[in-house]
Each structure stands twice: as C-alpha cells, then as structure tokens.
Amino acid sequence: MKNIKFVFSFFLLFLISCNREFVQIEQPDNQVVSRKATDILLGYYNFIQQQHKNVISVQSYTTLPAQNTSERLALAQAVFKNDNGIATKSFEEVKIDNLSLPFQNDGDTFVSEDYSQIKSFYGKQTQFSMKNSSNQILSTNIYIPMEIKLTSGFSPNNAVILKNGQTITWNSDSQNTKGVVIVIEYDPDLNTNQNIVSNYPNYISKVIGLEDNGSYTFKEQDLSSFPVGASVRFTIGRAGFSLFQPANSQETYSLCGYSILQGKGIVSN
C-alpha cells in the first residue's frame, strides 16, 4: 500500500504546485500560444480542485534513468467515500477494461499494482466500470494518453539540460487533447553549492503548459528565476480525465489516467 499514497500524492503536488502561476504565463510574441498554454493548465487545475468523493485512477510514475525499463510505480485504484468522507465499499466489483481490481479490506479501496496489465490502458480509450449489489453496471470510457518518455534534451548521465534555446523532445500523442505539463522546481536542500544556496535560499518553481506536439524549446523567461548552475527537479506529465455522472444518479465519479516522468535538471547559460 505504500506506493498508493506516494504516487497519488505526487500527482496532487504535480498539479497543485502550480498554485496560480499559470495566469502569469508571458509569451507576448504569440498570444495564441499563451492562451492555449493557459487553457491547458486551467483544465488540469480545475479538475484537481473538484471535490473528489469517488475516484478511479490509473497511475504510472518513472524516473529519467528508468524510463525505458519496466521499473515503474504503477497503480490502478478506486476509492469511494460516503457523505462523511469515509472510504467504503460502494460496489461489488470495479474493472478497468478487463482488469478486475481486488478489494483491500484494510484500506477500503480497490487496488491493483500489476504493471503488466496497467500499461495496456495507455494510448487508447479505456473502459471504467462498476458493478453494484444489484448487478447493475455503470460504465464509461476515457482516453488515457500514452506513457510519456523523453527522447532528447538530456545528457548521457540523465540530466535534463535547461537553458535558453535548448529543445527537449518526447513521444507525442496526437490524440491527447489535455496537453502536457512541465514543472521545474529548485529546492535549496537538493543543492550542495553553498554559494548558490546562500544567494537563493527559497524554493522556486515554474509550471509550463504545452500542446502535445512532442517538443519544446525553453525560453529565457522560463528559467530567469533559477540560479545558473543549480540542480533542479524536472517533471513532465500528461493525463486524461473526466467527471462521470451516471443517468438517474446523484453521485459523480472522477476518472483519470496519467503518467509522470521525473528527473534531475541542470540550469545552464
């Protein structure tokens, strides 16, 4: 159960860490791009700010060094809560495509960590279904984008190169309408250069929303707040998500599937 809390909490951090920085996106040379970037981040932000009483999620997390291996934290999970916010077994069975999620009595959740099956949910329309005690099945589909991978823009020692004019590329997904989010975080506790730490003692972050076209070239304004030479945490991710309210039901279900890749970045000039 330890991976469950880690991965889902990371996704919340990934989205909420933007606070409302997205409203300060500045790309005066291309207002259309700026509008799309803002819309992408608003879509993620507005979804995560919903009151998620009932959640079914597919989650995949990896690091840059491990992205081409099977070493991923993967999870398919369903959590249903009553009006008091207490997790409860609201359904007899929960399935994602053909995978029936085993019920965990100790946490009142339906959970699977079988990556061999979970990885098949990515890059396609995936079915989420719930069967109640009357054998009634509630079902809908959402598109879950392909698991994200970086294909260039990092050094042989797996550090993302962050400098003005540097391009990174990833495996684009033309069917992903939700876009891609990049998060860059400077944490003084992760830096050993005392000159940098003394001059930049506070946490710094930047959030960038992008269309899923497979590449991005960093601009000066993306990196201007970060100290040159600093080590930063680099995160890139994408998701499919939707709210599902079955006919003749008062309940709403939050459905999402996402993948996150995280690695070290080096700010350069």
Residues whose CB falls within 8 Å of the CB of residue 94, separated by 6 or more in sequence, listed in order: 56, 78, 100, 101, 110, 129, 130, 131
The predicted-structure confidence for 231-249, as pLDDT tens digits, reads as follows 999 999 999 988 899 888 8
Report d(CA 101, CA 114) in Å as an integer.
Answer: 10
pTM of the model: 0.84
The predicted-structure confidence for 203-232, as pLDDT tens digits, reads as follows 998 888 889 999 999 999 999 999 999 999
The predicted-structure confidence for 85-109, as pLDDT tens digits, reads as follows 788 888 999 999 999 999 987 667 8
What residue ranges do the domains of the chain occupy?
2-267
CB 94 within 8 A of CB 77: no
Name the nearest CA neighbour of 261 among 186, 136, 171.
Answer: 171
Name the nearest CA neighbour of 123 among 9, 212, 217, 4.
Answer: 212
Angle among Cα 152, 157, 160 to the nearest 5 degrees reads 45
Question: Strand locations in the chain, DSSP E?
Answer: 54-63, 73-80, 93-96, 99-100, 103-104, 109-112, 124-131, 137-144, 150-152, 159-162, 167-170, 180-186, 204-210, 215-217, 231-244, 253-267
Neighbouring C-alpha atoms within 13 Å toward the C-beta of 212: 21
Size (the chain), residues: 269
**162 secondary structure, DSSP code:** E
Higher per-residue pLDDT: 54 or 40: 54
Segment 156-185 shows an average pLDDT of 93
